[in-house]
Amino acid sequence: MALKQLAILALVALTLGACEEQRSRGASRHNIPIPSATYALMSEKGMNKDQPVLIRSYKKESELEVWKRKADGRYALLKTFPMCRWSGQLGPKVREGDRMAPEGFYAITPAQMNPNSSYYVSFNMGYPNVYDRSLGRTGAHLMVHGACSSAGCYSMTDDQIGEIYALVREAQNAGQRAVQMQALPFRMTPENLAQHRLDPNIAFWKNLKQGSDYFEVTRDEPAVSVAGSRYVFNGGSEPAEVAQKEHQDASRIAALVAKGTPAIRLVYDDGDQHPSFKRALAAGGAEALNRTASWASRDVGISREDALASGPRVVVLDDKGRAKATVRAASADENAILAAVSAAPVEEAAKPETAKTEPVKAEAAKPATKPVATPAMTQLARVQPGNAEPGPALASAGSAPVQDKTLLQRTLGFVPFFGGSAPDATQSAAPVADVAVQVPGTPSNVTAPLPPRRATNLRTSRLDSSPAAYASQFAGTR
């Protein structure tokens, strides 16, 4: 009898566990539970579900982090999620339809949470914020959502967004008024900043780094405001520890540049995804990844899977920010980028012509009784930079032998090297080399026209809406 009761209790426990972990659908999505494994992780790290959360995302690394504030008031990393898809390029979103995922500091309020999304669940980042509007930037409903498809959003798998949504919801239910999201182009390391030092967005990225540095040093979210079309953190005040980190990073960047770290710009075919998803895509194909990643979202497929077959193009820049060479990297991984740069063709500087020494015949050594005609090529060679002895002037057309006329014409073609108007070598196209297997049909130019979007319903045409209007706009969308 006791054995039978024990078996019944075990069956009930197993059933309850299965119910807890089952995927939420339909109207129950607003109450998606936090997975039991995440509860265990929070307990291990001294956290609970009610503590405030903070989100950090990185395009280049294709990762999204969830941080939680602990009892001592400092944030600690709870979990890092690989990102299934983001679109566009590194850099901020500027206008509606540019496919760019936003970069900056955003606040996610309860009104921006959408449990009725077409892409399982989602939350609105709050683009355009005050900073974006100060620069006249346009666009609306830029989300973090499910479905491995993006046209300007950060896209996670349905399981991932369900967990992230639940963590944010519980913190908001416990009183957190707004969750800060720090959307960054890459991890703000000296290595990344040294490589991207000549990118057109570098001033903006350095501004973002100020807020990022504050968080990394203090483990507290910075107070964010905007003045003079720049982010201002904590009213402009900066703790000594943050200033020290900025100084150390600047010294490290200078050392990396002095060691020869190349300046580069990354150009994506259309955004990227985490290497784990790229491997799954290569192994099983787009349909298999779509079934796994988007089990509860409207079926829109994997956006631009053709753009994910290889890594970005790496544009190697000279000291003035001009392209020297463009090579294809196997992936956005740091080692793959460095390998691509090392394989880039090296442009050698043009070397001045040097005079060729011809054997002197015996009779030429005798004193000449009258001027001896000197070939025009030899005369030009004698006035090359570094020769102390000036050569004689070019013979006039009348005194030159008839048979030397063609030689003289050829010689005059070298005159631009001595101050003429030679073609500017910088205007020639930069050499392109592929160090990874080229995707069939991939153009060799840096940018390419994008094919028609597979899912036109990923973006609306409306401009900025107030946070209060989000709730009424969300029904049946995202």
Known catalytic residues are 145, 153
Query: Rounded distance, CA 245 to CA 238, Å?
Result: 11
Q: Which amino acid is at 409?
A: Q
Query: What whole-number distance in Å separates Cα of residue 468 and Cα of residue 314?
Result: 42
Q: Residue 110's closest CA among 48, 169, 34, 153?
A: 169
d(CA 378, CA 392): 10
In DSSP terms, which residues pair with 104 in a beta bridge?
183
- Six token digits for residue 473: 């706009």
Looking at this protein, which amino acid is placed at residue 339? A
State the SS3 of the chain: CHHHHHHHHHHHHHHHHHHHHCCCCHHHHHHCCCCHHHHHHHHHCCCCCCCCEEEEEECCCCEEEEEEECCCCCEEEEEEEECCEECCCCCCCCCCCCCCCCCEEEEECHHHEECCCCCCCEEECCCCCHHHHHCCCCCCCCEEECCCCCCCCEECCHHHHHHHHHHHHHHHHCCCCCEEEEEECCCCCHHHHHHCCCCCCHHHHHHHHHHHHHHHHHCCCCCEEEECCEEEEHHHCCCHHHHHHHHHHHHHHHHHHHCCCCEEEEECCCCECCHHHHHHHHHHCHHHHHHHHCCCCCCCCCCCHHHHCCCCEEEEECCCCCEEEEEECCCCCHHHHHHHHHCCCCCCCCCCCCCCCCCCCHHHHCCCCCCCCCCHHHHHHHCCCCCCCCCCCCCCCCCCCHHHHHHHHHHHCCHHHHCCCCCCHHHCCCCEEECCCCCCCCCCCCCCCCCCCCCHHHCCCCCCCCHHHHHHHCCCCC
Rounded to whole angstroms, the Cα distance separating 388 from 377 reads: 18
